[in-house]
Amino acid sequence: MERFLLLLPLLAYAYVTLVHLLPGLVGERAVRRARPVAIVGAAVHVVVIVMHIARGMQPGLAMALCGAALGMIVAYAWVGTRRRRALGMLLAPLALVTLGTSQVIPEGQVVALTETGVSPWLPIHLGLMFFGLLGFVLAFAVGVLYLLVRDRLKKKDFSALGRLPSLETLDRVQFRAMLYGFVFLTLGIGVGGAWAAASLDRPWALDPKVWFTVVIWLWYAVALQVRLIAGWRGRWSALFSIIGFGGLLFSLFLSNVLMKSWHGYG
């Protein structure tokens, strides 16, 4: 039933991807419908995740990817104004590919949950990490767009700049999104650490996933500090976001598969 319902978000995200990648082919009216279609798809997406949790299913890799796809499309809908439509060329395909991947891989189960069981801390930890990811994926997308706009300005290619936000606007949105993500990542790490300390007998602080997540947290902390104190804005801030997001994806997904860890998926 849940897999059948996920066809609607998949079709919705495919539609949003198509209209942003080929706007001339589908027409302006179809482009204007992209955000409402994304919101409907995200609403069904949320229902499917709630059904998954209500059935007592414990989160694994497929569920993590499914949640990440939701975060990407919510980030798109959040800033999907006419002036920022170009973000759809990045966020919509990412959401589509991530959700599609979640449907063709084994579910797996987080190893730590076999020791701690399901706890009230779990939805709090996952919720905080989800909102942190939402902020970072938006900062990543805006950072990429910033570099593209900056490159066109340097080449004096003004053909499409009228439909894109200014560099100042992109820089401001990117910074706020990164700060938003950092706050929620900090809270998510704190809650996860408290839960692990109270529930696990083994030395959880030596877990490789913990160390890698701390490195990502330090990366974003440095990015915010050099912007606020040293004034490294614009291009530098965008590069920090893009590299940090790549590390975050590795920490959330690939490290869970490649490293032996109680965060890993059995």
pLDDT tens digits for 88-132?
778 888 888 888 887 776 665 555 565 555 667 777 877 888 888
Q: In terms of Cα–Cα distance, which of 67, 29, 15 is closest to 7? A: 15
- State the chain's maximal CA–CA distance in angstroms: 61
Q: Please check the confidence at residue 84 and state whether its pLDDT lies above 60.
A: no
Q: Please check the confidence at residue 179 and state whether its pLDDT lies above 90.
A: yes
Give the whole-angstrom CA distance, residue 154 versus residue 177: 25
